[in-house]
Amino acid sequence: MCDSLIYDVVIAGAGPVGLFLACELRLANLSVLVLEQASSLDSPLKALPFGMRGLSIATVEALYRRGLLPEIEARRRDSDQLQRSASGARGAQQARRPGGHFAGIQFFLDTVDTSTWPFRLPGSASPLMSTMEHIESVLSARARGMGVDIRYGCGVESFEQSSDEVTVQAAGKTYRAHWLVGCDGGRSTVRKVGNFEFSGTEPEFTGYSVEIELADPDQLAAGRHYTETGMYNFQPPGTLAMVDFDGGGFHRTRPVTLVHVQTVLRRISGMDATVTALHLATTWTDRAYQATTYRNGRVLLAGDAAHIHSPLGGQGLNLGLGDAMNLGWKLAATVRGTAPHDLLDSYGAERHPPGSQVLDWSRAQVALMRPSPSSRALAAIIGDLIETRDGASYFAKRVWGASLRYDLDRDHDLVGRSAPDFELTDGTKLGDLLSAGRGVLLDFHHEAPLRKLARRWGDQLLYVASDAKDTLGLTAALIRPDGIVAWASEVLPVPEDCAMAATRWFRQIE
């Protein structure tokens, strides 16, 4: 059976990345169909404790710029309560507030110095915690509210592309679209059927996240412990994570049984622990692979479909949402015919490097976690460095995603970075101006040439002439729909030709 509609875009996968991308595309009024393999989004693994996700500064900014942050934050308060009860007395006893970790080595907020990070205004975004369950429910409600068609139990099985469309087979039906985006997770069918090259490094371990009951929970010390055979992190009464350096051999080869969990726990902890019940279990590895290109004709990849790595340090979701924020407006402009011919390729060019850095970040953590004397010695050195102000600030900048900068034509140090959240004299913030998904030209000095230029971009660009409470010394700035600064000036009068050149990404102006 064939759906007679031709959609602008079909997205495979209604995970957080697919849903967020769908919302981005609907901002530009594209027709979007999301095909999801699972029959519903519900899964106990998406709730606490295993569904907890750290959202980086870049993600918080993206959610804020699309008006989604209040909903995520409202639910965060529930999560905070649940997390406190999940981590029990140990969490409450911790006098210093942790800011994140590297291979389990924590840094603390009281040591992080963000004052040296460039272009940060007071009240800048900070990272937060939420759960997959909450994030997906907020995003799916938003997507549906915007008119996205989401079909569950409809896994993409194969597809074919021609020069002007993609024909997708899913659950016995055929769908047609001008573009297909694979947001279908680490084992992406779109990536495999689309013959995307996927390269990287094989795993060293199998990781376990399990919810158990123990005959004697007091036998296991709470917290994270490195041993001669691996690592375990126990949160009483029964939440346990383990890393077993088995070369990743167990992962997805056999079911995770109570007996197996007990065997691995005894081996890693050296304790004669007895597991009396196994309530929930999942495994993962440190396999680190990335698609060498994120586009093949009319087919694109985003999120885990484009890159996989261990969940250490919690970066995959942030990376994927960053992909969606970068891709959405570019694909929309391409569909609408307003994009320069190479705009869509800048998606892969810009997003591949941060993906590759995250893979290396996770590999570096694995090197510190190996059960070897040299890794323990190295971990001790990192532990000393992370306690210093510079050390903690460095790790925070990386873990919180504050170091992101795209390699754009640079004539100002702000170009390629996330725009500061300028507050205009009437109290409007840049974040509010970006909520419609349009680019913004901020003209702090009411420059006539910029006003004239903006008229030529029509309704695709929001031109705002206003002073700001703190302009950080700028006279004007051009902000892309994804909140990245494309051009900035500190001089007066603003050189019109520079502003014009900077709009290449936005629209071909002859």
Ligand X SMILES: Cc1cc2nc3c(=O)[nH]c(=O)nc-3n(C[C@H](O)[C@H](O)[C@H](O)COP(=O)(O)OP(=O)(O)OC[C@H]3O[C@@H](n4cnc5c(N)ncnc54)[C@H](O)[C@@H]3O)c2cc1C
Contacts to ligand X by CB under 6 A: 12-18, 35-38, 50, 53-54, 155-156, 183-185, 189, 209, 284, 303-304, 311, 314-318, 320
Token pair, residue 236, equals: 């009483």
Between residues 151 and 260, which has the closer beta carbon with respect to ligand X? 151
Tokens matching residue 268: 């890693």
Amino acid at 177: A
User: Min. distance of Cβ 103 from ligand X in angstroms?
Assistant: 15
Q: Closest Cα to residue 480, out of 286, 329, 263, 260?
A: 329
Three-class HEC string of 474-490: CCEEEECCCCEEEEEEC
Nearer to ligand X, 316 or 431 (CB): 316
Nearer to ligand X, 207 or 340 (CB): 207
State the helix-helix crossing angle for 16-27 and 316-336, rounded to 10 degrees.
30
Q: What is the CA radius of gyration of the chain?
A: 24
Q: Kindly state the smallest distance separating residue 461's Cβ from ligand X, in Å.
A: 30
- Helix, strand or coil, per DSSP, at residue 346: helix
Place of tokens 């891709």: 327
Q: What is the DSSP string of 252-317?
A: TTS---HHHHHHHHHHHH-S---EEEEEEEEEEE--EEEES-SEETTEEE-GGGTEE---TTS-HH
HEC letters along 371-386: CCHHHHHHHHHHHHHH
How far is the C-alpha of 198 from the C-alpha of 305, rounded, in Å?
A: 10
Ramachandran bin of 369, using left for φ above 0, alpha for ψ from -120 to 50, beta for the remaining angles: alpha
- Cβ-based nearer residue to ligand X, 40 or 93: 40
**Distance in Å, CB of 248 to ligand X, minimum:** 14
Q: What's the closest the beta carbon of residue 217 comes to ligand X, in angstroms?
A: 22
| In the complex, least distance from residue 441 CB atom to ligand X, rounded to whole angstroms | 32
| CB 320 to ligand X: min, Å | 4
Token code pair at residue 261: 């969990």
Q: Rounded to an integer, what distance in angstroms lies between the CA atom of residue 503 and that of residue 480?
A: 9
Provide the minimum distance between the beta carbon of 274 and ligand X in the complex, in angstroms, as a whole number. 25
Nearer Cβ to ligand X (230/420): 230
Shortest CB 38 distance to ligand X, Å: 4
Which residue matches tokens 């065997």? 263
Query: Can you read off the two tokens belonging to residue 300?
Result: 């694109």
Q: Minimum Å distance from CB 140 to ligand X?
A: 10
DSSP calls for 57-89: HHHHHHHHHTT-HHHHHHHHHHHHHHHHHHHHH
- At its nearest, how many Å lie between ligand X and the CB of residue 150? 11
Query: Quick one: tokens of 214?
Result: 């123990």
Which residue has 């205004």 as its token pair? Answer: 121
Closest CA to 412 of 483, 472, 460: 472
Residue placing its CB nearer to ligand X in the complex, 210 or 415? 210
Measured from the CB atom, is 52 or 477 closer to ligand X?
A: 52
Q: Which is nearer to ligand X, 250 or 457 (CB)?
A: 250
Taking the least distance from each CB to ligand X, the nearer of 35 and 433 is: 35
For ligand X, the closer of residues 103 and 502 by Cβ is 103
Nearby residues of 145 by Cβ (< 8 Å), 6 or more positions away? none
Do 187 and 16 contact (CB within 8 A), yes or no?
no
**Cβ 254 to ligand X, closest distance in Å?**
18
Which of 53, 480 has the CB closer to ligand X? 53
